[in-house]
Amino acid sequence: MAKYRKLGRTASQRKALIRNQVTALLNNGKIVTTEAKAKEIRKVAEGLIAMAVKEKDNFEEVTVTAKVARKDKDGKRVKEVVDGKKVTVYDEVEKTIKKDLPSRLHARREMLKVLYPVVEVETGKKRSAKKVDLVEKLFTEIAPKYENRNGGYTRIVKIGLRKGDAAMEVLLELV
């Protein structure tokens, strides 16, 4: 007996489909798909969420000194003439950053192996694209929601048969 559904695709197509669907599920909170696909997607998504719940507090706050370019009122870098050359002026700034401990770093990299990069495009006067850090979203938004829950992070709700091929359609959502 097989350990997974083949979904009528080659291995690379199946892997890409599952990665795409899991990324969409974690980004949007719910997706509509067929029942067989939903059951496969659920396995991967719940594994990622469980990993995020386990490692969500596994970091340390570190204060670092960073060099930051000084900027004028227009947001452009301030340049100074030194020995006949224009040189950018830098200020030293103290910043507090989160430093992942080794197990959280490993979890982050395992998540990045599965999740595709997401870019949200806002329509308005200026079309601006903004990268969404799904791994950070998993650690900061999704994991705290499920920290007191032992598994069962997703729900499958049957919608009905699809018109074209009568495949059972379901709504896969985060609980």
- Summarised one tens digit per residue, pLDDT across range 45-91 is 999 999 999 999 999 999 999 998 988 888 888 888 888 888 898 99
Give CA–CA dist 160/36, Å, rounded: 14
- Summarised one tens digit per residue, pLDDT across range 78-124 is 888 888 888 898 999 999 999 999 999 999 999 999 999 999 888 77
The tokens for 125 are: 């006067």
CATH number of 1-57+101-175: 3.90.1030.10
Give CA–CA dist 78/34, Å, rounded: 56
- Judged by DSSP in three states, 42 sits in helix
Confidence at residue 127, expressed as pLDDT on a 0 to 100 scale: 75
Q: Which helix (H) or strand (E) holds 126?
A: none
Give CA–CA dist 47/62, Å, rounded: 29
Domain map (residue ranges) of the chain: 1-57+101-175, 59-100
